[in-house]
A and B are shown apart, each in its own frame.
Chain A
Amino acid sequence: MRVTASVRVVLAMVFAFLVISPLIIQRYAAPKETAKAKLDSQTALARHGFYLQEVAHAAGVNFVHQAPTLDPRLNHIMPQVASMGAAVSVVDFDHDGWPDIYVTSSKEGAKNALYRNLHDGTFKDVAEEMGIADVNRPGTGVSMGAVWGDYDNDGYEDLLLIKWGKPELFHNDAGHGFTRVTEQVDLPPWINANTALWFDYDGDGLLDLFIGGYYSEDVDLWHLASTKMMPDSFEYAKNGGRKYLFHNLGNGKFEEVSAKVGINSRRWALASAAVDLRGTGHPDLFVANDYGVSELYFNDGKRFHEVGEQTGVGFAPKSGMNASFGDILNQGRYAVYVSNISEEGVLIQGNNLWVPREGTSGDHLQFENLARDFGVEIGGWSFGAQFGDLNNDGTLDLYLTNGYVSLDRNRSYWYDFSKIAGGHSTIINDAKNWPAMDGRSLSGYQTKHVWLNDGSGKFVDVAQAVGVTDTYDGRAVAFADLWNQGVLDVIVANERGPLLIYKNTVTPENKWVEFDLEGTKSNRSAIGAQVTLFWNGQEQVQEVSGGSGFAAQNERRLHFGLGKTPHIEKVVIRWPSGKVQTIEEPAPNQLYSIKEPL
C-alpha cells in the first residue's frame, strides 16, 4: 500500500499531537487545589467547614528542634544524615482529662519537652521537673521518637523513648514524675531506631513493644568504625537495623522475641503501625521501610507472617516514611497511607494509599494502591501523615507534612543525589563516596498538604486555603483535641524548626462524638480497642493506637466527625480481650469515657 503525501501529513500531525500530549495530560490531570490565596477564615469555614490557626507561641510553646552533629567524617553530607529526630506524641500523662504534648530534640545535650496542658489554652514545659528532659546526653545517643503506653496497667501512661542510641523506658509515677527503668527491663544497649509502637500482640492484657532499627545497631554515628554505613541500595537495601519485639512478661520485665515469632528483617524501618486488619482480634503490623518495600505482618496471636508481597503492599520498592491507618470510605475497613518521595523531573515514586481490594478479606486480604485515583499521590519528599476528620463532616481527611533539607533555596543537591543513588552497593554504601552537599537544599521549602475527603474516593488539597502555609522540613504529625472542644487540632514537629500547633475551628453545624477508653481485662491504655460507629446508615471504624504516622502518636481518645444531622444508631466496641460492648444511640457532641466491662 502506498502512503500518500497527505496521509504522511496527517500522520505527522498525529505524531506532533502525541508528542505534546504529556503537557496537555499533566495540565488537566493536575490535582485540584481549591485556593492558593491567603487564609480567609470565614471563607474557609463556609467552604471547607474548618480552618487552622498556628498558635504555638500564643499557647506558650516555643520549642525548636535541634539536629545532632555526628562523626566529622559525615560533615560533607551531615544535613541529610542528621535529618530526623523531630517527633511528637500526645499523652494525658497526669490523667487530668486534658491532652499533653511530648516533643523531642536531637542535638547532644538538648532537652526534650513535656508540655502540660493548663486547660486555659496554654501549655507549660514540665519535662525537667518530671525527669524526662535531659535525655540527649553525649554518649547516650539522641532522641528520635517517643510512644506512650501503660505497660504495667497502673493507670498512667509510661514513656518509651527511642534514640539513635540507647532506648529508654520511663515509668510514670502517677503523673508526679518519671522513674527510669531501662536497666530493669533490660533494653538493648544501642538501637538506631526511628520507629516504635506499643501493642498487645498476644492478647494477654499486657502491652508489648515493637522497635524498628534504621541504621544497623552496631553503628555508633558519633564514632564511626567505617564510613560504610549508608544503605547498600536505594531500593533494595537490607543492611539496616534489626527489629525488636519485646514481649511484656508482666513483672516489669520484657523478653525479646522477634526471631521466635517470625520478625526477621534488616530493612531500614522508618514507620510502623498496627491494627486488626482481618477481624481476628489480633493486631497486624505494618512497617514502612526506607530504601525498600514495605512489610506487612499478619499476626495470629503467637506468630507473625510476612505477607507484604502476597497482599500487594510489599511489591514495588520505594522510600517508605509513614504508616497510618484510616477507614477512608466508611466501610469498616482500613486503608494504609505510606509516604514516599516525589521530586519533579528526578524521582516520582508517588505516595501509596493501600485500599483493601474488593472481595478480599481475612487471610486472603489484598490491597491496591489508589493514591493516584484518590488524589493523594504526590506530596513532595513526604514524611508524617495522619488520618482524622478535620471538619467533622463524617469522613477521614489526610494531613501530610514534607520537606527534607531546606538550605540554600537556589541550589539543589538533587542531581548529585540521583547520581550516587543509581550506583552499585559498593559505591552507595560508603559515605565518603557521596558528593558534598555544600549548603544545597534537597527537596526543601515544600508546601504541605491537607487533603479533604469527599467520602466518595476523592481528596482535595485545601492546605493553603485553611491556613497551613508553613514550609518547614516537617517530620511528625499528631492529632489531638487539645482544648476539649470536639475538634482535632494538629501538632507538627519540624526538623531544625519550631513545633507548630494548628488550632482547629470547625463549623458548629457539624457534630462529633469522642470515646476515651480504659481497659480492665485488656491493657489499661486500651491500645488495640476497636470502635465502630454506625450512624446515618454508614459506619466508620477506628482503633486506639500505640503509635502511628512518622515518629508520632495521636491522642488515644478516638474522635468521630458526624456531619450536620447525625443519628447515631449504635457504637460497637471490641476490646483487645475479645469482649464486645454495644452502646445504643449515644448522643452526639459528647465525650464518652468508657471502662471495659468486667
Chain B
Amino acid sequence: MNAIYSNPIPVRGWSIPLVPFALGCIALFALPAHGEQIGGTNDGLLERSLRFLSLSDGSVRMVVMGTLLMGFGCGIMGGHIVTRRLSLFGDTLSHAVLPGVAVGFLWSQSKDSWAILIGATLAGFLGVALISMIRKTTRIRQDSALGLVLSGFYAFGICMLTRIQKMEFGNQSGIDKYLFGQVVGLSESDLWTMLLSCALILLLTVFLYKEMLVTGFDSDFARSIGLPVEFLQYLLWLLLAFSVITSLQVVGVVLVSALLVIPAATASLMTEKMDRLLFCSALLGCAAGVIGSFISFLGSHLPTGPLIVLVSAAFFLVTLLFHPRTGLLPQWLSSRDRDRRILRENTLKAAYQELEAMDFKQEIVPVSQLASRRRISMPQAYREVESLVTKKFVTIHSPPGDASPSLQPVMLSLTPKGWETACRIVRNHRLWELYLTNEARYAPDHVHEDAEKIEHVLGEETVRRIERILSNPRRDPHGKLIPSQQDIERGFVA
C-alpha cells in the first residue's frame, strides 16, 4: 500500500532535461560563433532593455513573435509526448527531418519555408514509418530503432547540407542555421508557417482533447469505443513534425527536443491533470522563449537558442526545488519541522511522566530527570528545553537560594499550552496502545514502539472515534491513567 503513495511526483525520468541543459551549456561556451545575438550595437544595458521591451524595433518584434509561437507549439506538443512516454520520439523526429530540409531547399533552390516544411514533414514521416517497420519486422526494440533512425537520417542530412553549401546558390542561403539555430534569420513566411502549425496544434488540443486523452491513457479502450487510434497517432506525429520543423531555425536540430521535453516535464511536476499540464507547459515554453531571447539581446555574443533552453532548464530547476507541493526544499522543510515537533512533544511527554511519577504533587521538573528519562545528554536536553521555552511550552525556574541565575536552565514547569500538548500526546500514546491490544489483538509488550510513532500523527477526530470504539477508557494496557478531556481543559492542578 505504502509504495503506491510514496512517490508524489509523476514525472518520468526528471533527469532527462539535464542532458539538454548540459548540451546548452556546451553550446553556450564552445560554439558562440554559430549562435547569433539579436542586436549588435554597443548601447547600454538599459537602452537595450527598453528597445526590446517597447517592441519598437521590427526585428525584435519578429524574434518575440517567433519565440512565443515556438514556445507555445513545442510546449503543447511536448505535453502530449512526454505524458505518452515518447520524449525520445521528439528527439528522433528533429534529427530525421534534416534530409527533408535539404530536399526542400534543393527543390525550391532557396530557403523557402513552405518547401522546407513539406520536405521535412515527408522526411519525418519516412523516419516514423521506418521505426515502426523495424519494430514489427525485426527483433530490434524501440529504443534501438529510434537510435538507428536518428543517427542515420542525421548523418545523411548533414552530408546533403554540406553539399548544398558548396553549390553556387547555397553559399549565402543560411541553410547551416538549421543545425544550430539562428533566430535573427526568421523571415515573415517562417512566422506564417509557425502560426499555421500553432493554430493546428491549438485546434487539436481543444477539439480532440478527450480523444487524445483516452488514446494516450488506454489505447485498447479507445479502440474498443471505435476511435481510429492509428489515425490520431499519425495526426499527433504530423503536428509534432510541424512544431519541430518550424522551431529548427530558432534553436537548431540538437536543442529542439529540449523545448519539447523540459517545459512538459516541469509542468508535470506542477500538476497531475492533463488540461492544466498542457496549459502550464505552453506557458513555460512561451516564457522561456521570450526571456531567453531577451537575455540574448542584452548580452553580447550570446546565442539565442541555447539561452532559451537554459532559461527553460532554469524554470525546471526552480520548480524541482521550490514548488510548494512537490518541491524538494518545501518537502525537506516540512519534514524538518515535523522532526522538531516530534522532539518537542517527546520532551513534553517526558515532563508529564515525571509529574505523574511524583503523583502531580509538585509542578516543577528538574531538567536532569528529563534527560535521564529521554536517555539524552544534558547539553542536548538544554537545547530542547530552550526550544520549548521559545515556543512558550515551558517556563524556567531557578532553584531556590541560587541568587545568580545560571546560563543553563535547571528546573522547568509547564505552561497551560505545554500542559495541554503533553496531555494530548500521552493520551494519544495510551489510547493507541489500548486500541492495539483490545481491537487489533496485539500483545501488550508489542504496542509501545508503534504508539511512539502514532502519538504524533493522531488527529482529534481519530481520537474521538477510538474513544467511542473503546467506550471512553480510563486506563491503558499497563494500568496507567489516560488523561481525559477534563484533565486537558482543567490545566495542571498540583
Real binding pair:
no
